[in-house]
Structure 1
Amino acid sequence: MTEVVREFVGLSSPLIGRAGAGGHPCQGVYHRPAGPAPKTAFIATHYNIDFSEHYLASHLAERGYGFLGWNTRFRGAEPYFLLDHALAEIGVGVRWLKERAGAERVILLGNSGGGSLMAAYQSQAVEPNVTPVAGMRPVEAIQDLPAGDLFVALAAHSGRPEVLTAWMDPSITDETDVLSVDPGLDPFNPENGPPYGEEFQTRYRAAQRDRNERITDWVLEQLEGLQGTRSRDKLFSLHRTWADLRMIDPSIEPSDRRPNWCYQGEPVKANYGVFGIGSLCTLRTWLSMWSLRTSQCVAAPHLGRITVPSLVVHATADECVYDSDARSVFGSLAAEDKRLEFLKDEHYIRSSRPQAADLIDAWARER
């Protein structure tokens, strides 16, 4: 087995300085085979999750690649996320690979939620389009980002606002009361299903979008109300975001997934728990990441600017990424050289990581 060398990488951000305790805002771990520096390297980053020890890092290093599991300063700090700031800090990692690690070719790996994030990075690098959120200054550092040479979407969601909206429980009637509920829209009311009829599904999906739009209206009102005060932003909580009907009813978009299950376990318990996407955010983070109306974390427009060779890998037993998501990502890519592959595994592909690494390795070597 190839020996894998792991190197901690801590780098400055073009936006903020080092923490008082000494930590660099941009951090990660570079995995590479022992010996000469690899000429091709991957970089993987997420909106919030720590990717420094990504599950494919060692597998791909064993196959001769470099792999930078990279974190922006928003690792573990999702409530404060700003897309343009994150892209600038991903650029720090890509530059390090090309200028310091000796990589001649960089492959952007968009895994899970990171799919739309890395798509946004490549999109901005080839055709600058990302603008600052309301009341924020433009970020100069994103105007000249080094582009990736290939793009891989692995078990990737179709975009941050789309995912949140698809998972939202629209039966909540009071955003400040986790227990408030409209029985006619309650996905856990047995009178509604499962199985869920077409009419209920249509009403439910429309109500989810309405909930997202109502929150955006409220956020914009709150920001306007803060003008001229001592505060520029504020935090708020978001309840009940584990209620995609597909999580509960396996007859909707049938797949190899476990029925009545999501990333946090049984949906009804997860939905009324405290661990959920978007559960805490600032007003501006809502606009930057979660709002259907204002967020630039929607994948499709960015994928439409990606023309480099691209690979989409879908896990058919994924609990919360569905076949339609994978096909949407694949269909939105502008690349002429693109491929869609499938693995029978769950979201973190725990049982087929070597096969996933082999698949990605073979595809990359062909190019």
Structure 2
Amino acid sequence: MGEIVREFVGLPSPLVGRAGAGGHPCQGVYHRPQGENPGTAFIATHYNVDFSEHYLAEHLAARGYGFLGWNTRFRGAEPYFLLDHALAEIGVGVRWLREQAGAERVVLLGNSGGGSLMAAYQSQATEPNVTPVAGMRPVEAIGDLPAGDLFVALAAHAGRPEVLTAWMDPSVTDETDPLSVDPALDPYGEENAPPYGEAFQARYRAAQRARNERITDWAIGELAALDGTRARDRLFNVHRTWADLRMADPSIEPSDRRPNRCYQGDPKRANYGVFGLGSVCTLRSWLSMWSLRTSQCTAAPHLARVTVPSLVVHATADEGVFDSDARAILGALAAADKTLELVKDGHYLPSSRPLAADLIDAWVRGR
């Protein structure tokens, strides 16, 4: 790997000013080969994970590309996420690549949860469709976003409400009590154990969707109750979100993944821990990101507007993204030129990053 230049980029947001301590709302790190200004550059952004030092940045820079690991102001601030605000701040990064870094082609890299986020960005840039969450003003900056030229979905989830619902524990009977449980639906209880029967799986999936809908009903009601008060929103917890049956039962959608594993290790232990998907929300961030009914962070409708050449890379040993997710993304893409590639590795590609970079490099150069 040749010498890689790493340039910090801090830029204003069209929505909020700099922090009192001086930090810019939009921040990232631009990677490029020493002495070069690449004509093709990648941008990768996530809902809340810091992508400034993304694991593929140096690998792709070593192959002659620019790579902007980009963060909106919601990095590390998932409870406050608003999709339209995030899209405006991704647009800041794309414009910087075109106007300051000299990139003639921009590749949108949607990695992990960022898959649906970058699909939403391209969708909005192509055919504006994203609306503000209840009680919020429209964001003018998303009416004229610069579109990407290529789209890559890497180990990507099918959407925020979908992945949370697939992972949430439907045996929770009281949202204020993390220990409440309906034994008939407890995936880790004495009454149920892998391999899970088809009837149990069907009841379980239906109960997961029902839990998501109950929280949405409650959030809408709480927002209405706050109308006219001193408060505009409130925080709440969503407990036990490491309970996808596939995590404990490898016979459901068999793959190269390790059995009884999730991104936090043992799923039963993680399910009762404090680190979980969507574990802290505001009423509006739930409606904006996690609700099956109201969220615009579902990938499929946005992928239907993605017509640029598209690559889907699926890690076959992924503990939380499954073959059905990758094929759903591929099927939803409107691009005439779309390709699915498989890499035998886990979610973060710990053993195959150079291979993945070679694969993406070859695909980009072919277009």
Band of TM-score, shorter chain: over 0.9
Identify the residue that residue 187 of structure 1 maps to in structure 2: 187
Answer yes or no: is 1:74 the counterpart of 2:46.
Answer: no
Identify the residue that residue 160 of structure 2 maps to in structure 1: 160
Equivalent position SS for 1:76: coil
Identify the residue that residue 15 of structure 1 maps to in structure 2: 15
Could you list the per-position Cα deviations for residues 278-337 of structure 1 after superposition, in whole angstroms to 9, with x for gaps in the alignment?
A: 000100000000000000000000000000000000000000000000000000000000
Identify the residue that residue 213 of structure 2 maps to in structure 1: 213
Q: Distance in 2 between matches of 1:6 and 1:110?
A: 21
Q: Distance in 1 between matches of 2:339 and 2:235?
A: 41
Residue identity in the other structure for 1:347: H
Identify the residue that residue 313 of structure 1 maps to in structure 2: 313
Structure 2: state its 5+ residue gaps: none
Cα offset for 1:2? 1.8
RMSD: 0.4
Residue identity in the other structure for 2:346: E
Identify the residue that residue 289 of structure 2 maps to in structure 1: 289
Give the alignment of 1:1-367 within 5 angstroms: 1-367=1-367
Q: Distance in 1 between matches of 2:346 and 2:236?
A: 32
Q: Distance in 1 between matches of 2:130 and 2:257?
A: 35
Equivalent position SS for 2:294: coil
Equivalent position SS for 2:42: strand
Residue identity in the other structure for 1:301: P
Q: Distance in 1 between matches of 2:215 and 2:329?
A: 26
Q: Distance in 2 between matches of 1:175 and 1:312?
A: 36
Q: Distance in 1 between matches of 2:190 and 2:60?
A: 46
Residue identity in the other structure for 1:194: P
What number of residue pairs does the alignment pair up? 367
Cα offset for 1:346? 0.2
Equivalent position SS for 1:69: strand
Q: Distance in 1 between matches of 2:97 and 2:216?
A: 38
Residue identity in the other structure for 2:225: G
Cα offset for 1:35? 1.2
Cα offset for 1:220? 0.4
Structure 1: state its 5+ residue gaps: none
Could you list the per-position Cα deviations for residues 155-207 of structure 1 after superposition, in whole angstroms to 9, with x for gaps in the alignment?
A: 00000000000000000000000110000000001322211000000000000
Q: Distance in 1 between matches of 2:64 and 2:269?
A: 43
Equivalent position SS for 1:9: strand
Q: Distance in 2 between matches of 1:249 and 1:175?
A: 26
Residue identity in the other structure for 2:71: N
Equivalent position SS for 2:29: strand
Q: Distance in 2 between matches of 1:233 and 1:190?
A: 39
Equivalent position SS for 1:341: strand
Residue identity in the other structure for 1:339: T
Could you list the per-position Cα deviations for residues 89-127 of structure 1 after superposition, in whole angstroms to 9, with x for gaps in the alignment?
A: 000000000000000000000000000000000000000
Could you list the per-position Cα deviations for residues 222-253 of structure 1 after superposition, in whole angstroms to 9, with x for gaps in the alignment?
A: 00000000000000011000000000000000
Equivalent position SS for 1:294: coil
Q: Distance in 2 between matches of 1:2 and 1:301?
A: 40
Cα offset for 1:36? 2.6
Q: Distance in 2 between matches of 1:113 and 1:189?
A: 29
Residue identity in the other structure for 2:297: C
Q: Distance in 2 between matches of 1:109 and 1:83?
A: 17
Could you list the per-position Cα deviations for residues 17-48 of structure 1 after superposition, in whole angstroms to 9, with x for gaps in the alignment?
A: 00000000000000000113000000000000
Q: Distance in 1 between matches of 2:277 and 2:184?
A: 24
Taking structure 1 as the reference length, the TM-score comes to 1.00
Q: Distance in 2 between matches of 1:178 and 1:36?
A: 53
Equivalent position SS for 2:314: strand
Query: Which stretches of structure 1, 4 residues or more, deviate above 3 A after TM superposition?
Result: none
Q: Distance in 2 between matches of 1:198 and 1:350?
A: 34
Q: Distance in 1 between matches of 2:318 and 2:359?
A: 18
